Copies of this chain bind each other. A is one copy, B any other.
Amino acid sequence: MKKPKIKDVAKMAGVSTTTVSRVLNGERYVKDELKAKVQRVIDELGYSPSHIARSLVRQKTNLIGVIVPDLTSSFHATILSSIEQTASRSGYSLLVCDIHEDTDKELQYLNIFKEMRVEGIIIMHEKLSDKIQNLINKLDIPVIFSSVRPPDQKFISVIIDDYHAAYDAARYLAGLGHTRIAFIGGDMRDVTSGQSRYLGYRNALEDSGIAVDDDYIRFGDYKPRSGYDRMKELLDVSPRPTAVFAVSDDMAAGAMNCIHDQKLSVPEDISVIGFDGSQLTELVRPRLSSMEQPIEDMGRVTVDSLFDLIQGNEKAPKEDLILQHQLVVRDSCRALQ
Binding site for B on A (CB under 8 A): 2-3, 46, 48-53, 55-56, 61, 70-72, 74, 77-78, 80-81, 84-85, 88, 93-98, 100, 105, 108-109, 111-112, 114-117, 138, 140, 224, 253-254, 256-257, 260-261, 279-280, 282-285
Contacts and interface: CB of A to CB of B under 8 A. Distances in A.
Contact of A257 (B81, B260, B283): B283
5 contacts: A50-B56, A51-B112, A71-B77, A71-B78, A84-B98
A95 B75 CA distance: 20
A167 to B, nearest CB: 28
B97 A95 contact: no
Nearest to A54: B115
Contact of A84 (B2, B96, B260): B96
B84 A52 contact: no
A253 B98 CA distance: 27
Given A138-B46, A257-B283, A116 B81 contact: no
Given A280-B283, A284-B284, 4 more contacts: A2-B140, A46-B138, A48-B111, A257-B283
Contacts of A111: 48
A48 B114 contact: yes
A153 B132 CA distance: 45
B56 A53 contact: yes
Contact of A81 (B2, B100, B253, B280): B100
